[in-house]
Amino acid sequence: MTAFFGLRQLGIAALAALAFQMPAKAEEISVTQWGNSLYGAPYAVAMEKGLFKKAGIDITGILGSGGGGTTVRNILASPTPYGEVAVSAALAAKAQGLDVVIVNTGARSVAEASMVTMPNSDVKTVADLVGKKVAITSPRSVSEMLLLMVLREKGIDPAKVQRVAAGGYVPALTMMEQGAVAGSVLIEPLSIIRKAQYRTVYKAGDVLKPMTTSVGITTSKFAKEQPEKLKAIIAGRRAGVQAIYADPVEAGKIIEKVYKLEPEIARESVENMVPPKMWSEGEFSIEELNRMVDGLKLIGHVKEDIDWSTLLDDSFLPADLKAKR
């Protein structure tokens, strides 16, 4: 009996050791505009360099979407319910009564957004847009919000600039090329791909202060049951951000591969986002969150101030980031 008990204990120990040595189960998370927007760059770099594995989780796939409610639904339906979404999508989900908790911040700059015009246009400055038509992607979109924020910053009455919904960035450019509008909103990397065709009127990041544009969300159930996984995802993403700032050239090569971009386009896209520090390491800035809310009020997405204490949970952030709020 004693011998059997000893063998049994050895067996349990062996199984435990084997389990400890086994690689972490592959996980998939969601990121809004994956492959189209640079929001997802830290995840691409972290996966390529094995930084998620080093943090304790094996993220092998990113589920992309067009953004908004689609990304939120993908996250809530996932076995690993974590993803990065636009602030507006997180607030809308919470307003609908969905189980959403914000656990880290993502992008904190609008440096990728701009307004362009044709090279021979008489539009040289923001003030020159008065009395003219400009193309946005859609009503109440981020593209319209940023335009309204820029106009306000420059002291221009938005009623004096007619906004035309084009349905997307490429259709907006087509309208401008055909002379239907004097200017068009644009976003990287498309603005880099086509930079020889247009002239930049302004870059939003040069006019507007930093603001939180995307956040990491999860469910309260996942946060309670899998806190270590959540901490590992946030730590892995943070390591990806640090890797981008430490070596933008290497990061550009990774983005080139993952996003299937031309080498020069990928390099310039990443390098343009380094000076404005587009990607946060995950810490919360109430000031930058409120700037985004201020913009969302302009397009009617938000009616009142947000009580962030009901939405934010910083307990999964590394200790040094918790104090930065």
* For range 100-117, the mean pLDDT: 96
Handedness of CA 94, 99, 67, 289 (dihedral sign): positive
Rounded to 5 degrees, what are φ and ψ at 279?
Answer: -100, 125
SS3 201: strand
Angle at 228 between CA 222 and CA 231, to 5 degrees: 95
* Whether pLDDT at 25 is above 70: no
Number of CB atoms found within 10 A of residue 155's CB: 8
* For range 257-279, the mean pLDDT: 95
Q: Give Cα 55 distance to the centre of its chain.
A: 21
Q: For residue 2, count CB atoms less than 10 angstroms from its CB and return exposed for 0-12, middle for 13-18, buried for 19 or more.
A: exposed
pLDDT at 63: 85
Adjacent-strand bridge partners of 134 = 163, 183
* For range 78-82, the mean pLDDT: 94
Helices vs strands, H then E, count in the chain: 15, 10
Phi-psi region of 100 (alpha: psi -120 to 50; beta: other; left: phi over 0): beta
The pLDDT tens digits for 130-163 are 999 999 999 999 999 999 999 999 999 999 999 9
The pLDDT tens digits for 303-315 are 999 999 999 999 9
Q: What is the band of 109 on the pLDDT scale with cuts at 50, 70, 90? A: very high
pLDDT at 176: 98
Q: Delineate the domains of the chain, giving CATH numbers in brackets.
A: 25-109+211-322 (3.40.190.10), 113-207 (3.40.190.10)
Number of CB atoms found within 10 A of residue 19's CB: 8
* Whether pLDDT at 18 is above 70: no
pLDDT at 325: 64
Q: What is the band of 65 on the pLDDT scale with cuts at 50, 70, 90? A: low
Judged by average pLDDT, the poorest of 17-26, 266-275, 280-289 is 17-26
The pLDDT tens digits for 240-267 are 999 999 999 999 999 999 999 999 999 9
Instruction: Say if pTM beats, i.e. exceeds, 0.85.
Output: yes
